[in-house]
Structure 1
Amino acid sequence: MSEKNNSQAILHFWHGTKFQLIGLGLAVGLAAGIVVVLYRYVIELSLEFSLEVYEYLRERPLYIPLWFAVLALCGWLTGWIVKQNPIVSGSGIPQVKGVLQRRLAMNWWKTVLAKFAGGALSIGAGLSLGREGPSIQIGSAIGMGFSKLLRKPKMTTQFLTTCGASAGLAAAFNAPIAGAVFALEELHNSFSPVVMITALASSIVADMVSKEFFGLQPIFDFRGISAIPLHQYGHLIVLGIILGLAGLLFNASLCKTQDLYKRLNLPLQVRMILPFLCAGGFGLVLPQVLGGGNQMVNSLLTDNRPLLILAVILAAKYVFTMISYGSSAPGGIFLPMLALGALMGLVYSRAWGFAVGAESFYAANFIILAMAGFFSAVVKAPMTGIILLTEMTGSFSNLLSMGVVCLVAYVTADALGSKPVYELLLHRYLANKGVPAYAAEEKHKVLLEIPIHPGSPLDRKRIRDIHWPERCLVVGIQKGSSEVIPTGATRIASGDSLVVLAEEDTANQVESVLSGQAAGRFN
């Protein structure tokens, strides 16, 4: 296709086929939902089997060496899978961000198979990892594959990759709205009506598939909880500050653990055996820390163990999460992060209740609030955290208090210079040798959406008065519900979204410059 025809096809796509994207998003949501539900079922079955094995081994300790040999073999096999397919290491969410930013290449079908197998082995063996990261990466790969099989243009591939990622989160957690918000807040870091509506369509269908299989119950059953009285909101500020500090420590610990594994300088297959053997040890003495932690969170309301024991479980879960994720085993940190937040909330509630002589001090509320706050401090995505926990708990009585905790946790972490965890992990991943780099081509065009923020130097300026980056063209301006085809005299206003056509090989630089100007970071 010639350059002129390619540009015309891109513009036709933008102006004439938005509703087609919704249909494609629905199809991607169905396909991703089915695969992620199967993945979720396999890892739950595998983890349940592992827990039964530990119960058996406590009565028959002679078989313990045999089980550890099985764990070592599973670790070696997982390491081999990751070595053959480096893009499936860890959570997968940083890799999806890299793909959407045109910084990483991903073979869609190899990713689906390798992430499915590696994640099932890792989480099924009891590593402190979650299903959400693999589900998001599997979903994004299915969206990419759907586009490639239908031979859609690269622009469509970007949208369907996002749709698949949203569907993966929705199917993993029964949280369709959070899936769409996650696409905007974390994957794209901006609001786009097209991304929102297509991601929402995909998430809803995937959630319907998940609910058809697993039922209508929320992941965490915390319904029927009354709201915290306003005169107790001072505790929310204290809790938010604690969670902000904990989020800073969590991100730093992840990076330090990855560095420690690298300093061991062991072959990947050998290195991967270590967390599997640790899972065996924890499984025998403290099985509560195995897996992502959703079962543990559900049991916290009826957990009458002393405060010291809860603190020990919290410390063990924290250390085991670092050991598990630092090894590069395929698995996410969403669920372990929420489990840690829930434990911190319960410890805070019990500690304050003990101090004032109360048997229970809003324990259920603080569990929910701490999960959302810790997520906001670590991921730096407070809106996703609020909506995600609301959907996962089925409780709408804590929205105001959750907003307070998330805001304080976010501000505390941000003031201390903490970076979003997935941004940190993406930079570290890209620094590794042998990562599959994206091969951008000059002949391909892409469309960029650039929202104009209040205070931007572009606000109230005419198109012809702005120094634009080379090799880009403003082809549209979204003003509310209407779209304007710009001329040199068209003025840009805050709240507008620029639609910019750029060549693929320079699109990242163009987007970086324009996003900075649109946000008012530099002139």
Structure 2
Amino acid sequence: MTTLPTRTYWLQRWAALLLTGVLAGLGGMLLALLLHEIQHLAYGYSRDSLTGPQTFLQGVTDASARRRFFVILSAGIVAGCGWWLLGRYGKKRVSISAAVKDPGKPMPGITTLIHALLQIITVAMGSPLGREVAPREVGSLFAGGVARYLRLTPTDIQLMIACGAGAGLAAVYNVPLAGAVFTLEVLLVSFSWDAAIAAVVTSALAAWIATLGLGDEHQYRFTTELASTSLVFWGALSGPIMGAAAFLFRRLTQRARSKVRSNWQMPVFSLVAFAALGALSMWFPQLPGNGKGPTQLTLDGSVTLQLALAIVCIKIFVIWAVLRGGAEGGLLTPGLTIGALLGSLLFIVLGRLFPGSDMAGFALTGAAGFLSASMQMPVTAITLMMEFTRMDHSFLVPLALCITGAYMTSRQLERWQKS
């Protein structure tokens, strides 16, 4: 016979949910503000406003080539020495997925916070990886601590840790619905109404808290009003292309991470990787950072064949290099950028065959398809694109077709690889 929870326990559970949302929102907001402060200090732009109108790409472009090189070289020193020392002297890190799988194994507080700060610092200085893992880790750390303090059951501790990660994602990108979907699809890999309500409450609260310091803005400017009929056909045709490309990207990044050794090699390899990135950024200021700038260029329709081809090839190379060097960070926004650039390339080559479509539409579908397959999260991908761009609902069909084709192609290629 199942014992129903007491009223006191339900109050404790709701207190844990609310505290998880608030703490994840504050954590995401503070990490984002720290990122902006370091960016402005490193590249010398918008010193009077952390959330001003000047973008990171504009700030990097306006900085001298010499300054770009030395800032990114410094990021290599921070990354190599920081993660090497953390691996050598810190407690063994517990990932979010491991903490969700085994709620009896808490994430070490100091190690997790230092790991998150290193990601924010290096991404702000120009690392090509994403910033989204840091707020997810901080959100999960706080959520697990609150849940254990309130003496929740192991099942509810597991739920809170997952909700904390989703809320951290929601906070840093202002994507409350995508944060909730990410919690269910990627971390819990299941659905129940209790979990869904918990995910929505925490992500919505965290996103709102973060807007108090960051403003209520979406990530990308997308001005195309309606999706053309030809884009629907393109969405269906391009899915397998994006899925195959994402499969190769996943293999590349997984192999790079598998070869990292926490010894003297890490500072050396990291310095070499970031030095290469810094040198390339002297000619291509679009390279530093997680890729938001180049993605916006594709959505504005303002990239040429030569620029798109150069950036996508070099971007993949520098992502591999810094991962091989031992740097940490997310692959959500980098994957989105690669997909958008591939979509732009395909538009330049094939766009005339799809009358009524534009580069922005091709970039949007490419970004969604590549992201869904590279991160293995199709539902989260389409939700993210909706909240990232505030696109018209007419784009849902081409995006859904591209995401489905990309995800299924990537999964099938992985099955063939294992067989």
* Structure 1 residue 70 corresponds to structure 2 residue 80: no
Preserved CA contact (<8 Å) 1:297 1:342 = yes
Per-residue deviation, residues 337-359 of structure 1 (Å, max 9, x unmatched): 11111111111112213x5597x
User: In 2 relative to 1, CA 86–245 (structure 1 residues): closer, same or farther, beyond 3 Å?
Assistant: farther
> Could you say which structure has the higher strand fraction?
1
CA distance in 2, matches of 1:42, 1:143: 21
| Deviation, structure 1 residue 407 | 0.6
The amino acid that maps onto 2:309 is A
User: In 2 relative to 1, CA 418–308 (structure 1 residues): closer, same or farther, beyond 3 Å?
Assistant: farther
Preserved CA contact (<8 Å) 1:243 1:409 = yes
| Deviation, structure 1 residue 309 | 1.8
SS at structure 1 position matched to 2:217: coil
CA distance in 2, matches of 1:415, 1:107: 34
SS at structure 2 position matched to 1:177: helix
The amino acid that maps onto 1:287 is P
How large is the RMSD of aligned CA atoms in angstroms?
Answer: 3.0
Question: Which residue does the alignment assign to 1:433?
Answer: none
Instruction: Flag the structure with more relative contact order, 1 or 2, with Cα contacts below 8 A and sequence separation at least 6.
Output: 2
Question: Which residue does the alignment assign to 1:234?
Answer: 233
Of residues 352, 357, 370, the one that matches 1:374 is 370
* Structure 1 residue 107 corresponds to structure 2 residue 107: yes
| Deviation, structure 1 residue 286 | 1.4
Percent identity, please: 24
CA distance in 2, matches of 1:34, 1:177: 18
CA distance in 2, matches of 1:312, 1:348: 14
Preserved CA contact (<8 Å) 1:282 1:290 = no
Preserved CA contact (<8 Å) 1:176 1:200 = yes
Of residues 7, 10, 13, the one that matches 1:21 is 13
The amino acid that maps onto 1:220 is Y
Runs of 5+ in structure 2 lacking a partner?
A: 45-59
Preserved CA contact (<8 Å) 1:350 1:361 = no
Between stretches 127-136 and 109-118, larger displacement belongs to 109-118
TM-score by length of 1: 0.69
The amino acid that maps onto 1:280 is G
| Deviation, structure 1 residue 19 | 6.5
Superposition map of 1:82-231 within 5 A: 82-85=87-90, 95-102=95-102, 105-223=105-223, 225-229=225-229, 231=230
| Deviation, structure 1 residue 28 | 0.9
Superposition map of 1:216-295 within 5 A: 216-223=216-223, 225-229=225-229, 231-262=230-261, 266-295=264-293
Question: Which residue does the alignment assign to 1:443?
Answer: none
SS at structure 2 position matched to 1:330: coil
| Deviation, structure 1 residue 175 | 0.8
Question: Which residue does the alignment assign to 1:485?
Answer: none
CA distance in 2, matches of 1:234, 1:67: 44
CA distance in 1, matches of 2:155, 2:6: 9
User: In 2 relative to 1, CA 386–16 (structure 1 residues): closer, same or farther, beyond 3 Å?
Assistant: farther
Question: Which residue does the alignment assign to 1:39?
Answer: 31
User: In 2 relative to 1, CA 357–200 (structure 1 residues): closer, same or farther, beyond 3 Å?
Assistant: closer
Between stretches 147-156 and 193-202, larger displacement belongs to 147-156
The amino acid that maps onto 1:407 is T
User: In 2 relative to 1, CA 24–103 (structure 1 residues): closer, same or farther, beyond 3 Å?
Assistant: closer
Larger radius of gyration: 1
CA distance in 2, matches of 1:65, 1:338: 25
Preserved CA contact (<8 Å) 1:218 1:394 = yes
Between stretches 164-173 and 343-352, larger displacement belongs to 343-352
Preserved CA contact (<8 Å) 2:184 2:196 = yes
| Deviation, structure 1 residue 238 | 2.2
| Deviation, structure 1 residue 101 | 1.0
CA distance in 1, matches of 2:285, 2:6: 52
> Could you say which structure has the higher helix fraction?
2
User: In 2 relative to 1, CA 191–66 (structure 1 residues): closer, same or farther, beyond 3 Å?
Assistant: closer
